[in-house]
Amino acid sequence: ELKQKGFTIIEVVLVLAIAALIFLMVFIALPALQRNQRDQARRTVQGKIASAVTTYQSNRRGAQPTTGAQLAAYADGDAAAANTYDGVAATTSDGMLENNSYYVRVGALTSGTTTPTTGVANKTWIQVYTAAKCDPTGAGAVSGTAKQAAVVMGLENGGSTVCQDV
């Protein structure tokens, strides 16, 4: 009787298919997980800025901040250098946080819209709108009272914008 040692072609194909499935899951799931982690870090920084606005207002009898550098000082940051970050020109009145990973700009909201008078909100820039509040969807800001402020930032996952009331 002749006994053959080895694997059949079906066994080899099955093992290769399982290995390919594992690689596919890693290459699809891992980048999404990393994006979610970076977005969570962005939300944490956004919360720091919202807290900085509250502290600034408390220390100045309700006055609103006028520059990002003022807020950065309350969130362990500093004034930004005059340069271009993520396609937006920064000035020394802007603030920077987290080893220059985030930049903060303060500006008034044009009446009734989410169009800023200065700056943009994206993955790198945090826009603080004074006299504004978050719209009901939480994706942008609308006009509010003189004492209100909204902190708006873009997220990487889905390209959405998130707003936090102060």
pLDDT given at position 68: 86
Burial class (CB in 10 A: 0-12, 13-18, 19+), 156: middle
- Looking from the CA of 21 toward its CB, the CA atoms found within 13 Å total 6
> Given this model, what pLDDT does residue 113 score?
53
Indicate if the pLDDT at residue 142 is higher than 80: yes
pLDDT category at 51 given cuts 50, 70, 90 is very high
- Tell which wins on pLDDT, 88 or 135: 135
Distance (Å) of CA 10 to CA 3, 31, 33, 76, 138:
18, 32, 34, 61, 54
Do residues 66 and 106 touch, judged by C-beta distance below 8 A? yes
pLDDT grade for 115, boundaries at 50, 70 and 90:
very low
Half-sphere exposure of 165 (CA within 13 A, CB side): 13
Q: How far apart (Å, rounded) are the C-alpha atoms in residues 100 and 125?
A: 11
Cα–Cα dist 14/100, whole Å:
49
- pLDDT of residue 21 exceeding 70: yes
Confidence at residue 118, expressed as pLDDT on a 0 to 100 scale: 44
The radius of gyration of the chain's CA atoms, rounded to the nearest angstrom, is 24
More confident position, 28 or 50: 50
Q: What is the pTM of this model?
A: 0.77
Q: d(Cα 49, Cα 101) in Å, to the nearest integer? A: 14
Asked if the model's pLDDT at residue 91 lies above 70, the reply is yes
Percentage of residues of the chain with pLDDT beyond 70: 86
Average pLDDT estimate for 12-32: 91
